[in-house]
Amino acid sequence: MTARLVIATRRSRLALWQAEHVKALLEARGIAVQLLPMSTRGDELLQASLAEVGGKGLFIKELEAALADGRADLAVHSMKDVPAELPPGFMLAAITARDDPRDAFVSARYAGFAELPAGSIVGTSSLRRQAQVLERYPALAVQPLRGNVDTRLAKLDRGEYAAIVLAYAGLRRLGLADRARSVLPIEESMPAPGQGALGVECLSTRADVQALVAPLADAVTSACVRAERAANRALGGDCTIPLGAFADLQGASLRLRALVAAPDGRRVARAEALGEFSDPEALGRRVAERLQGQGAGQILAALAK
């Protein structure tokens, strides 16, 4: 009998692209797949920042409920939206090959941050991006920007913002790469842990699903994302903290760079280290310790007040 799987996905155009991508990979292996599009709390609560309403985990809770009650067999997520700790009973069965992990500068009038006049409004939903923008350009005004990619671009086009910052991978996946006026170097805008990679989640009891999905995993991406997520987990595991982390392969070793920043950009802790490809979690913990030594604990403590 041909295997058949149901993928739970958000309804946004980008989420559907991501689910269709995984669907195509599975169908190429002879597996029949159908999608279960769903609306999530994260999609519906657009009037407040993610930090105020509970973080990026709001984008996946309804999908996990569909896995738990049997309506779906797996869910596809952008890894930057997946909390560092999954609820008991859930697991990541695969992390697929990473797309471009960088952030993009998008504007109708300006080619980059250096061209923006003082007081220009920059839109982003991320404290991480906000902190890094204000560290380099403190004269700019950063304001919250929620909604899917198309909604955010529409707000920019209506003149509500002088520029916005988005994940470049999302623009590429939607055929909108030409909207990026520039792609920001890792050194200027450290990505979120897992940015550019897709994760496939299922119940930890579903060995059948795990076996079908396992061939989609990319070994290098998986190791890099595991290191990034381990650093986040060691610092509290909250998707809303202003933390950037990016790992890449350096010969036979993994290099992990990370930062924790105050939202106003006035305090930034940075650290990096090399580690064993076979133990990315240890590398993540080591970099988190170095961040603590650079003052990350004080930055995070101030945020919690």
Look at residue 50 in the predicted model and tell me its pLDDT. 46
40: nearest Cα among 73, 75, 79, 85: 75
Q: For the CA atoms of the chain, what is the radius of gyration?
A: 19
Look at residue 45 in the predicted model and tell me its pLDDT. 46
Look at residue 190 in the predicted model and tell me its pLDDT. 98
Look at residue 304 in the predicted model and tell me its pLDDT. 81
DSSP-derived letter for residue 80 is G
Confirm whether 81 is a catalytic residue.
yes
Distance CA 135, CA 162 (A): 18
The active-site residue out of 81, 99, 103, 238 is: 81
Residues making up the chain, counted from first to last: 305
* Helices 219-234 and 280-293, axial angle in degrees (round to 10): 40
Whether the Cβ atoms of residue 163 and residue 105 lie closer than 8 Å to each other: yes
**Six token digits for residue 206:** 């579903």
DSSP assignment of 26-75, as one string? HHTTT-EEEEEEE--HHHH--SS-HHHHT-GGGGTHHHHHHHHTTS-SEE
Look at residue 3 in the predicted model and tell me its pLDDT. 76
- The DSSP bridge pattern shows strands 4-10 and 103-106 to be unpaired
Supply the pTM of this predicted model: 0.92
Burial profile 5-17: b = 16 or more Cβ within 10 angstroms, e = fewer:
bbbbbbebebbbb
Burial profile 204-237: b = 16 or more Cβ within 10 angstroms, e = fewer:
eebeebbebbeebbbeebbbbbbbbbbbbbbbbe
Which mean pLDDT values do the consecutive 10-residue runs of the chain (305 residues) have? Answer: 85 96 97 92 51 59 96 97 94 98 97 97 95 98 94 97 98 98 97 97 97 98 98 86 96 97 96 98 98 94 85
Structural domains of the chain ordered from first start: 4-97+196-217 (3.40.190.10), 103-183 (3.40.190.10), 232-300 (3.30.160.40)
Look at residue 237 in the predicted model and tell me its pLDDT. 73
HSE (CB half, 13 Å, CA atoms) of 109?
14
At 266 the three-state DSSP class reads coil
Look at residue 305 in the predicted model and tell me its pLDDT. 75
